Amino acid sequence: MGGSLDLDRDASDRLLEQVNRARANATPLRIQGSNSKAFLGREVAGEVLDTREHRGIVHYDPTELVITARAGTPLRELLATLDAAGQHLPCEPPAFGEDATVGGMIAAGLSGPRRPWAGSVRDFVLGTRMISGHGTLLRFGGEVMKNVAGYDLSRLLAGSFGCLGVITEVSLGVLPKPRHSLSIRLEMTSAEALEKLAEWGRQPLPISAACHDGDCLGLRLEGGEGSVNAARQRFGGEVIDGQYWSDLNEHRLAFFDEGQPLWRLSLPNHIGPLDLPGTQLIDWAGAQRWLKTDAKTLQALAHEVGGHATCYSHGVIDTPFQPLAPALLRYHRRLKAQLDPLGLFNPGRMYPEF
């Protein structure tokens, strides 16, 4: 990519120095970019390690379908660069703030409406650089599509919420933007919508988003103009503004307004209607359910049907993420001990045990 902003700079030496100083003093570190996702997880006490000084797009050649950026790079800058070349991140990571960073996007590992059809943030991570708890700068993966041998530690960092190390740089696979996009709304009940979505999921239809708001099913159709128009004729319905999906992704819909606590349920995609407490919004063709409720038993309920529940409202419950089974918790703790033996990075952010 030609040219760079004046603000772009490599501050990895400063970050590494702060980590080694923390190691010497056994000082916990609270890793953050813009703090746009601070509401997720448990409270973290520690010295702030701010990644925003370490920013800039390191490499981008649209013909390679790979972009490499430093962790403090504003996510909007990366997306704008891709957009200018007619490309995008298909996983549609939500920002939850104007100043969200690339590192925060990877650490949170959150994906948008296209996720069931295109994949998650983790699926597009090709390589990372990170500072470990040993005070060393490590590199995993690379900048090519087929460069994974053995255990893929770079993708393991996606959704780790900074508990394994300080992400300093990431290489992401990208794709061309869809040639044609059309959004429609169909009147039907949630039960009818889930039944239809299960049926359509077995057919070659150009659906890239599906959300039921309690009254209507919204669909986004993407691909070639012919296939999109054919699907539009088959489904009928009312054409709506495609901005709906961005508003859904960034929680700007009226459903997400302040009030009762917000919960996210991630479920197997074959699960039909569930009798859930509170107000419900169905996303990801049924695999993601948003709930506004005061109930605190959703993690047990989600576990019963093979899924998991996360509380998106801070301070409602001591363990906002789904509790881990003993065997899985043991693996998490061993991995944490390998990469961060002193427990410096975001201690307790995900679970009190590490």
CA distance 219 to 114: 11
CA distance 212 to 280: 9
Paired with 351 in beta bridges are: none
* CB proximity list for 133: less than 8 A, separation 6 or greater: 19, 23, 165, 339, 340, 341, 342, 343, 344, 345
pLDDT digits (tens, 9 = 90+) for 5-51: 446 899 999 999 999 999 999 999 999 999 999 999 999 999 999 99
Comparison of pLDDT for 26 and 146, the residue scoring more: 26
CA distance 213 to 218: 8
pLDDT digits (tens, 9 = 90+) for 323-349: 999 999 999 999 999 999 999 999 999
Query: Quick check: 146 pLDDT over 60?
Result: no
Query: Quick check: 175 pLDDT over 80?
Result: yes
pLDDT digits (tens, 9 = 90+) for 208-250: 999 999 999 999 999 999 999 999 999 999 999 999 999 999 9
Average pLDDT, the chain: 93
CA distance 35 to 100: 7
Query: Quick check: 207 pLDDT over 60?
Result: yes
pLDDT at residue 328, as a whole number = 94
DSSP string, 59-78: EEEGGGTEEEEETTSBHHHH
Instruction: For residues 275-301, give the mean pLDDT.
Output: 95
pLDDT at residue 143, as a whole number = 56
Q: Strand, coil or helix: what is 188?
A: coil
Query: Quick check: 148 pLDDT over 80?
Result: no
E strand segments, 90-223: 125-131, 137-141, 166-173, 175-176, 180-187, 207-212, 216-223
pLDDT at residue 4, as a whole number = 40
HSE, CB side, 13 Å, CA atoms: give it for residue 293.
Answer: 21
pLDDT at residue 270, as a whole number = 86
pLDDT digits (tens, 9 = 90+) for 88-128: 999 999 999 999 999 999 999 999 999 999 999 999 999 99
pLDDT at residue 52, as a whole number = 97
Query: Quick check: 294 pLDDT over 50?
Result: yes
- When mean pLDDT is compared across 37-51, 61-75, 141-155, the lowest value belongs to 141-155
- Which pair of tokens denotes residue 337? 């001990």
Question: Which amino acid is it at 48?
Answer: V
pLDDT at residue 132, as a whole number = 96
